[in-house]
Amino acid sequence: METIVNAKAGDKDALSRLWCILNPGLVRYLTSLGCKFSEDIASESWISLSKVLPRFQGELSSLQGLLFQIARARLYDQLRKDYRRPKQLLMVVDDQNSFRKNNYHSGPEASLDESSSQTLEWLSQIPTTQAEVVSLRVIVGLSHYEISQIIGKSEGAVRILFFRGLENLEKVVIGEKKSMLQKKFFSSA
């Protein structure tokens, strides 16, 4: 709590401590949603948070919820903006940023191991809202209540989305494992 009070007063060290605590989870969350520019959106979110921080009242979990709400709004703003862009321009942007897919950069995404990449692939195969809730609950570790505040749904709806997301994720994983076994079995025959 003292760190938040100091950050509100403009203490750069306190703000830096908050960034160290919250930013890795924020970037993982954005990455889990398939965001190509997760670090950029996280940075924009911190800038927006810094503007409202002096008026903020609450504890660290509330601040984390606010930061994730801001990031989610920034992500949707970016998606709307990309949707309105001509497709030819989008292809150029994707080409310029294709290095991100090949891990030729540093940062939190560069440390994704094979199992993390596989998890993100599986999450991309379930409905978006379910994937978002599962990511916030499992990857970031937020409570159902905190997630409900971020995505603007009731706590009960978040619980249902979480359990349906887990069920769908299980189907995806089992289906993939079954497919791998069939390929292995039929290719060796």
The percentage of residues in the chain with a pLDDT greater than 70, rounded to a whole number, is 82
Tokens of 145: 């209540």
The answer to whether 144 touches 155, Cβ cutoff 8 Å, is: yes
Q: Using one digit for the tens of pLDDT, what is the confidence trace for 127-170? A: 989 999 998 998 888 999 999 999 999 999 999 999 999 999 99
Is pTM, for the whole model, over 0.85? no
> For 171-183, what is the mean pLDDT?
81
Q: Using one digit for the tens of pLDDT, what is the confidence trace for 63-80? A: 999 999 999 999 888 888
Name the segment(s) of the chain with CATH classification 1.10.10.10: 113-189
Query: What pLDDT, on a 0 to 100 scale, did the predictor assign at position 9?
Result: 87
Query: What pLDDT, on a 0 to 100 scale, did the predictor assign at position 80?
Result: 83
Measure the CA–CA gap between 133 and 154, rounded to whole angstroms: 12
Give buried/exposed letters for 85-119 (b at 16+ CB in 10 A, else e): eeeeeeeeeeeeeeebeeeeeeebbeeeeeeeeeb
Cα distances (Å, whole numbers) of residue 157 to 67, 128, 162, 171: 21, 14, 8, 21
Measure the CA–CA gap between 59 and 43, rounded to whole angstroms: 21
The answer to whether 23 touches 42, Cβ cutoff 8 Å, is: yes
Q: In the 3-class helix/strand/coil scheme, how is the chain assigned residue by residue? A: CHHHHHHHCCCHHHHHHHHHHHHHHHHHHHHHCCCCCHHHHHHHHHHHHHHHHHHCCCCHHHHHHHHHHHHHHHHHHHHHHHHHCCHHHHHHHHHHCHHHHHCCCCCHHHHCCHHHHHHHHHHCCCCHHHHHHHHHHHHHCCCHHHHHHHHCCCHHHHHHHHHHHHHHHHHHHHHHHHHHHHHHHHHHC
Measure the CA–CA gap between 107 and 113, rounded to whole angstroms: 13
For 2-11, 14-23, 93-102, 125-134, which range has the lowest pLDDT when averaged over its residues? 93-102
1-112: CATH topology is Rna Polymerase Sigma Factor; Chain: A (1.10.1740)
Measure the CA–CA gap between 102 and 118, rounded to whole angstroms: 15
Q: Using one digit for the tens of pLDDT, what is the confidence trace for 15-63? A: 999 999 999 999 998 888 878 888 999 999 999 999 999 999 999 999 9
- Identify the residue with better confidence: 117 or 111: 117
Query: What pLDDT, on a 0 to 100 scale, did the predictor assign at position 108?
Result: 45
Query: What pLDDT, on a 0 to 100 scale, did the predictor assign at position 165?
Result: 93
Name the segment(s) of the chain with CATH classification 1.10.1740: 1-112
Query: What pLDDT, on a 0 to 100 scale, did the predictor assign at position 183?
Result: 73
Residue 91 has pLDDT above 50, yes or no: no
Query: What pLDDT, on a 0 to 100 scale, did the predictor assign at position 115?
Result: 66
Rounded mean pLDDT of the chain?
A: 81
Q: How confident is the model at residue 83 (pLDDT cuts 50, 70, 90)?
A: confident
The class that CATH gives domain 113-189 is mainly alpha
The percentage of residues in the chain with a pLDDT greater than 90, rounded to a whole number, is 42
